[in-house]
Every structure is written in C-alpha cells, then in structure tokens.
Amino acid sequence: MDNTTVIIGAGMSGLIAAKALQIEGAQVMVLEKSRGLGGRLATKRVGDAVFDQGAQYFTVKDPLFESWVAGWQVIGAVSPWPESAHRRFIGRPSMTAVAKTLADGVEVKRDHKVTKITRVGERWCIEVENHGYICAARVVLTSPVPQSLALLAAGGVELPAEFASELAKLTYSPCLALLVTLTGPCRLPVDGVTKAEGDVRWAADNQRKGVSPLVAAVTLHLSAEFSTRHYGLGEAEVLELVRSEAEQLIGAGIASVTLHRWKFAHALATHAEPCVWLPEFKLGFAGDAFGGPRVEGAALSGLAMARRLLAELRK
C-alpha cells in the first residue's frame, strides 16, 4: 500500500518538514498552489526590478534551527545581512533561496491547489484543482489555519470539537505590500527601516540588499490597521494614500508600483504545541501559528512535525 505523507504548502514549515522526513527515508510529497516556492518567503520580479515581498530577513535563536542555517550558509543560500547592526539572515540572492534549497530533491508539485480533503476509509483523498485526486496515508496541513480548516470543511471532515475551537482562535492580520521603483537615488539605510507608527511600517531597498542588482526596488509593508481598512483598494489608490509618507522615508519619488495583498500575513496567536498530530485521523497541522509567528517559528514547527511523524512511522 502507498505509504506517502502529503504535505500541503511549500512554505518554510512544509518544506523543512518534507526535507527532514525525506532525509530519514520517509515517502513524502508536497503540494503547493503557487508556481513559486516559499509561501511568505516570496520573491517577485517586475521587469528588471526584484523584490523580497514577504519576509525580509530571519532571526536565529534555537540551536536546532541554527544547525540548518549553518548548512545553508556553507552552500551560499543565506548569509548574515551585511553591515546590519542586528543578527539577521537573508536569502542569497533573495529570500526564496532558502525554499529552493529545501525543495531540492524533494517531490514538490507546484501549481497544485488543493480544494478539498476527504477521509475515505483509512486514507485521505485530496482533490487538486485541474489535477484530479491524490491519495495519501497521511496529510500534513501547513497552509494558514483558516485555509486549512476550509479544506477540511469542504471534505466534510469533522475535527474533535475542542481542537476545532482551539484552531478557530488562530487568526492572522493582513499586510499590503507595495513594491516600488524610484525616480532618484534611494536613501534608506542598508538594513531597512522599521517604524512603530504610521501607515508604512517597513521599507527596504532590495538593490542594496543584493536582491535587485540592476534597479533600486523598494519593498514597503503597510500597517495591519491600514491593510485591514484598505484591503480591497487597487495599487494606485493605496499608493496615493501613503505616497508622501513613503517618499519621505525613501528620500526619492516613486516611479512605479505593484501591490501584493497578503491576506494571512502575521499569525496573531500561537497554539500551545509547536505542531499537532491527530493519530486517529492521520492528520497533522504545522506552520507559524504553531511554532511562532516568524520564519524561525515556522521552521521549528515543521521540524517538530517531522519528528512526530517519524515516531509514528517507526511504531
């Protein structure tokens, strides 16, 4: 009988779980709805300009994560952010390098959007848009929790009531990201600007970061309050609302803009466990809403999930 574990989502948590499982000889397949890898570790190209549009850097505190990061440093996929006053790491040449490194040699099916997960006897039947059905012995959901719950609801899967109500509390704030090119030289400091107030909360120059070698390309992240209020606006309208604040921060005019809407940007609560495995369902949950709302938290959640599954497989 096929013994595959299907992981839904090729973000940090899903990919590191898949890699850790594969290293130990487990059969694993990752299904990702997007063409690109990395989920919220995303990089976007617009003409000659290249932007890290989600996570901008990551921090490393846990020794286990540190050991993975050390390996990525050796092969040049990440480096400390040069000249940064903080201990921050960035992907090389961009944040998705980490995801690409993890996915190397792992069976990852991109452009595979899961629409429904149904329990059929002892197995899972996973409906994938335009690709029919995939069967699996086990499923791990790493999509943002509201999206995972929608997939289970579509398949008529009823989780234990207490656990379902814990999951319903795991909500996220949105983030509108403006990806802009400039009319003049950028004056942002090398490792970006974080602001505690205002509509623009983060600004970084992807050219100085090495992400966009040809063109000054600035990523702006707007506050959760602003992003919630103006989520449905178009890019020109959003830009007009923040233009003067943004241009003052950057020290140059904005020449062009592309908007990316992150609906589930930042996990607002963290589950008590770094991952959850339901043996009776052969179903797992991992991601930053379990391990903590950062890249490192997502990685630690994925690694915890892999450990839990390996214990299950060895029974």
Residues that bind ligand FAD (CB under 6 A): 8-14, 31-34, 39-41, 54-58, 113-114, 142-144, 147, 151, 175, 177, 221, 262, 265-266, 287-288, 293-295, 298
User: Of 60 and 182, which has the nearer Cβ to ligand FAD?
Assistant: 60
The one-character DSSP state at 4 is P
- Dist. CA 131–CA 225, nearest whole Å: 38
Min dist CB 288 to ligand FAD, Å, is: 3
Min dist CB 264 to ligand FAD, Å, is: 7
For residues 22 and 309, the answer to whether their CB atoms sit within 8 Å is no
Min dist CB 314 to ligand FAD, Å, is: 25
User: Of 56 and 212, which has the nearer Cβ to ligand FAD?
Assistant: 56
User: Of 152 and 298, which has the nearer Cβ to ligand FAD?
Assistant: 298
User: Of 86 and 314, which has the nearer Cβ to ligand FAD?
Assistant: 86
User: Of 5 and 142, which has the nearer Cβ to ligand FAD?
Assistant: 142
Give the 3-state secondary structure of residue 227. Answer: helix
Min dist CB 50 to ligand FAD, Å, is: 16
Which residue do the tokens 């234990």 mark? 160
The one-character DSSP state at 280 is T
Closest CA to 35 of 90, 100, 92: 100
- Dist. CA 145–CA 165, nearest whole Å: 12
User: Of 9 and 91, which has the nearer Cβ to ligand FAD?
Assistant: 9
Min dist CB 163 to ligand FAD, Å, is: 19
57-77 b/e with 16+ CB inside 10 Å = b? bbebebeebeebbeebeeeeb
- Dist. CA 90–CA 59, nearest whole Å: 9
Backbone angles phi, psi at 128, to 5 degrees: -120, 130
Give the 3-state secondary structure of residue 238. Answer: helix
Backbone angles phi, psi at 20, to 5 degrees: -65, -35
Question: By CB neighbour count within 10 A (0-12 exposed, 13-18 middle, 19+ buried), where does 240 fall?
Answer: exposed
Q: Which residues are paired to 220 by β-bridges?
A: 178, 203
Min dist CB 78 to ligand FAD, Å, is: 12
User: Of 155 and 212, which has the nearer Cβ to ligand FAD?
Assistant: 155
Min dist CB 96 to ligand FAD, Å, is: 11
